[in-house]
């Protein structure tokens, strides 16, 4: 609620400030009447409006929600806030009662004067002839005049005509509307300023209508100067006010300019835009979870990873990590990506390939350009998987290969760093034929240049445990003993060892 009150008040202040600086002294009186009433409605409605737009979010990027735990401190703070809120609410209700009482008292006083004094009916207007000294004023269809001055014809016809125009244009309804709003928002001083501006603009409108009815501007100005504001009038009325006579005479001398009005309205557009942006209820992004079944035909989400290169081939288009690349510039682009990586880091790179209806021969062109890049030369990976081995002739069994000599710890025969880790190349091919779609996915595990004999799993677990590493089975954390038990009891499993933050290792075991 407090946010709404603040936004509504600030919005009203900004729009009214524009009126005071750019519109009040201009001869756009009918537009100004509409503007002063419209900004009240805008300031009330705008903080209730929410704007939203849609953002596609892939499942991997959705954040985890956090639970709010109740604690004694939270409960104490909530109780203190309730106490403060109660005092503020009590003060607001007190002000509401005072301003409502003031409004009812003025309204009652107005109708009491109507009932207790003589009335002279002129059709659409009723003249209320009062004994007390007063400046002429009007309310609804009633025009209040001094009885003696009216009977002696001391009141100018231009002044009576002025009050009749107030009645015809229903200016009293504007004042009743602003008075009612001031009861609710009595704490906002902007309503006081707006009410004064509305009354002044009513006088501008009535003055303009009188002069339009064949009245000399100079003669009418002299008549206005003869009336003083020291006499009685009700706050709900539209009185003849001496304090604003100078402004009214200056406005009478001005002429309407359509070009000037368009210029001022063009200045209003950015002000309204600022109010919409800053004083709306909220601008909300509606997240839409995108899955492969929803978006497989149109978009591909690449999960960027420093150790994974994502390649997408769609018909005759090539995308590297989501960016479209020409085949001719593929080698240069890949070399730029690998520029800051060492040879060891390049060897550790994985490759993720997705193909959607590739044109004939296009994949081969990409594979050839890819093979000239640094990552292909160092790691040996390629866009196309290597061909499978030829089947053995019937009746012949190949001799088992000789076991390679174990290299020195950490070194190969050539003195280069031995690579034990695995890189995963994932190739996904999507072929579409009308409504039929076939997805082929194969995962190829590519090892380093000098593969070492597979380590003993139990010994490897002991090494990881002694180095402070962790073990997971199907994404659930387990102990080293449990990991050994799974390795001994199951044959069809995947084992993956990765380095994590802090230099420790993480062994992930999963079922095939």
Mean pLDDT of 212-224: 85
Domain ranges within the chain, ordered by starting residue: 2-63+71-282, 296-387+418-451, 454-512
Confidence label for 175 from pLDDT (cuts 50, 70 and 90): very high
| Residue (of 498, 501, 348, 505) closest to 417 by Cα position | 348
Return the half-sphere exposure (C-beta side, CA atoms, 13 A cut-off) of residue 225. Answer: 9
| Top-confidence residue, 381 or 332 | 332
Q: Report d(CA 265, CA 364) in Å as an integer.
A: 63
**Rounded Cα–Cα distance for residues 223 and 229 (Å):** 14
Q: What is the DSSP string of 414-435?
A: TSSBP----EEEEEEEEEEETT
Cα–Cα distance for residue pair 198/204, rounded to 1 Å: 10
CB-CB contact of 50 with 281 (8 Å): yes
Q: Whose CA is closest to 241, among 135, 99, 360, 89?
A: 135
Nearest to 467, CA basis, from 487, 497, 510, 490: 497
Residue 238 to residue 204: CA distance in whole angstroms: 12
Check residue 122 and report its DSSP letter. Answer: -
pLDDT in the model for residue 262: 92
N-term to C-term CA, the chain: 56
Burial of 16 (0-12, 13-18, 19+ CB in 10 A): buried
Looking at per-residue pLDDT, the higher value among 272 and 347 belongs to 272
User: Residue 437 has what pLDDT?
Assistant: 53
Burial (CB count <10 Å: 0-12, 13-18, 19+), residue 308: middle
Main-chain dihedrals φ then ψ at residue 472, nearest 5 degrees:
-135, 140
Question: pLDDT value at position 421?
Answer: 45
Mean pLDDT of 181-207: 93
Strands (E), 148-267: 238-239
CA distance 290 to 300: 10
Q: Residue 231 pLDDT more than 70?
A: no
Asked whether residue 414 carries a pLDDT value surpassing 60, the answer given is no
pLDDT value, residue 33:
95
pLDDT at 425: 52
Angle between helices 258-279 and 2-18 (to 10 degrees): 160
Which range, of 18-22, 249-253, 282-286, 467-471, averages the lowest pLDDT?
Answer: 282-286
| Model confidence pLDDT, tens digit, residues 12-56 | 999 999 999 999 989 889 999 999 999 999 999 999 998 877 765
Work out the pLDDT band at 11, boundaries 50, 70, 90.
very high
Q: List all residues 6 or more positions away from 432 whose beta carbon is below 8 Å from its beta carbon.
A: 297, 356, 357
Q: Which long-range contacts (CB under 8 A, 24 or more apart) does 293-300 make?
A: 295/56, 296/430, 296/437, 297/432, 299/56, 300/354
Return the residue matching tokens 């978009």: 299
Residue 126 tokens read as 């009723």
Query: Measured between alpha carbons, how far is 210 from 17 in angstroms, rounded to an integer?
Result: 29
What's the average model confidence in pLDDT over 401-406?
Answer: 54
Angstrom distance (rounded) from CA 1 to CA 91:
15
CA distances from 288 to 54, 146, 282, 295, 507 (A): 7, 72, 18, 11, 34
Record the pTM: 0.53
SS (H, E, C) 128-181: EEECCCECCEEECCEEEEEHHHHHCCCCCHHHHHHHHHHHHCCHHHHHHHHHHH
More reliable by pLDDT, 14 or 355: 14
What stretches of 310-432 show up as alpha helix (H) in DSSP?
330-337, 343-347, 362-371, 374-379
Nearest-angstrom CA–CA distance, 200 and 15: 18
Q: Which helix (H) or strand (E) holds 201?
A: helix 190-212
Asked whether the predicted pLDDT for residue 241 surpasses 50, the reply is: yes
- What percent of the chain is helix, strand and coil (3-state, nearest 5)? 45, 20, 30
Whose CA is closest to 142, among 166, 159, 176? 166
**pLDDT tens-place string over residues 83-115:** 677 888 899 899 999 999 999 999 999 999 999
Which class for 299: exposed (0-12), middle (13-18), buried (19 or more C-beta within 10 A)? exposed
Q: Which DSSP letter does residue 305 get?
A: B
Name 399's Cβ contacts closer than 8 Å, sequence gap at least 6: none
pLDDT of residue 213: 84
CA–CA distance from 189 to each of 41, 107, 111, 181, 195 (Å)?
17, 22, 28, 12, 10
The dihedrals phi and psi of 196, each to the nearest 5 degrees, come to -65, -40
pLDDT at 442 over 60: no
Q: How far apart are CA 148 and CA 164, in angstroms?
A: 20
- Burial (0-12, 13-18, 19+ Cβ within 10 Å), 89: exposed
Q: How high is the mean pLDDT of the chain?
A: 78
């Amino acid at each position: 609620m407090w946010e709404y009150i603040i936004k509504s008040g600030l919005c009203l202040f900004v729009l009214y400030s524009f009126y005071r600086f750019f519109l009040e002294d201009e001869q756009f009186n009918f537009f100004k009447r509409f503007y002063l009433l419209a900004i009240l409605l805008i300031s009330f409605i705008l903080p209730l409006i929410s704007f939203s737009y849609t953002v596609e979010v892939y499942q991997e990027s959705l954040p985890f929600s956090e639970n709010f735990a109740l604690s004694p401190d939270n409960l104490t703070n909530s109780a203190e806030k309730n106490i403060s809120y109660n005092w503020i609410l009590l003060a607001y209700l007190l002000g509401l009662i005072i301003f409502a009482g003031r409004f009812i008292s003025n309204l009652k006083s107005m109708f009491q004067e109507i009932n207790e004094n003589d009335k002279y009916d002129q059709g659409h207007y009723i003249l209320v002839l009062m004994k007390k000294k007063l400046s002429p004023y009007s309310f609804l269809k009633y025009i209040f005049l001094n009885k003696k001055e009216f009977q002696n014809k001391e009141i100018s016809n231009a002044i009576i005509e002025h009050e009749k125009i107030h009645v015809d244009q229903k200016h009293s309804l504007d004042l009743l509307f602003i008075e009612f709003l001031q009861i609710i928002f009595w704490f906002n001083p902007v309503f006081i300023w707006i009410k004064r501006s509305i009354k002044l603009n009513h006088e501008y409108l009535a003055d303009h209508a009188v002069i339009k009815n064949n009245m000399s501007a100079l003669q009418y100005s002299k008549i206005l100067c003869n009336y003083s504001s020291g006499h009685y009038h009700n706050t709900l009325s539209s009185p003849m006010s001496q304090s604003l006579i100078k402004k009214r005479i200056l406005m009478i001398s001005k002429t309407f300019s359509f070009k000037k009005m368009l210029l001022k309205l063009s200045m209003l557009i950015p002000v309204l835009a600022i109010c919409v942006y800053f004083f709306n209820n909220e601008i909300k992004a509606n997240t839409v979870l995108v899955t492969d079944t929803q978006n497989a035909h149109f978009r591909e989400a690449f999960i960027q990873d420093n150790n994974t290169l994502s390649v997408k081939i769609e018909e005759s288009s090539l995308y590297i990590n989501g960016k479209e690349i020409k085949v001719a510039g593929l080698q240069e682009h890949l070399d730029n990506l690998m520029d800051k990586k060492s040879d060891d880091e390049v060897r550790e790179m994985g490759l993720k390939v997705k193909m959607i209806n590739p044109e004939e021969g296009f994949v081969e062109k990409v594979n050839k350009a890819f093979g000239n890049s640094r990552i292909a030369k160092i790691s040996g990976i390629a866009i196309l998987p290597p061909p499978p081995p030829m089947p053995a002739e019937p009746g012949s069994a190949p001799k088992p290969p000789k076991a390679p000599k174990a290299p020195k710890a950490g070194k190969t025969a050539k003195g280069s760093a031995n690579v034990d880790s695995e890189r995963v190349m994932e190739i996904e091919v999507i072929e579409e034929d009308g409504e039929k779609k076939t997805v082929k996915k194969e995962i190829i595990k590519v090892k380093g240049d000098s593969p070492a004999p597979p380590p003993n799993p139990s010994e490897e677990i002991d090494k990881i445990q002694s180095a402070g590493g962790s073990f997971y089975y199907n994404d659930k954390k387990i102990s080293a003993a449990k990991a050994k038990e799974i390795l001994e009891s199951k044959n069809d499993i995947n084992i993956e060892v990765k380095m994590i933050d802090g230099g420790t290792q993480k062994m992930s075991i999963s079922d095939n």
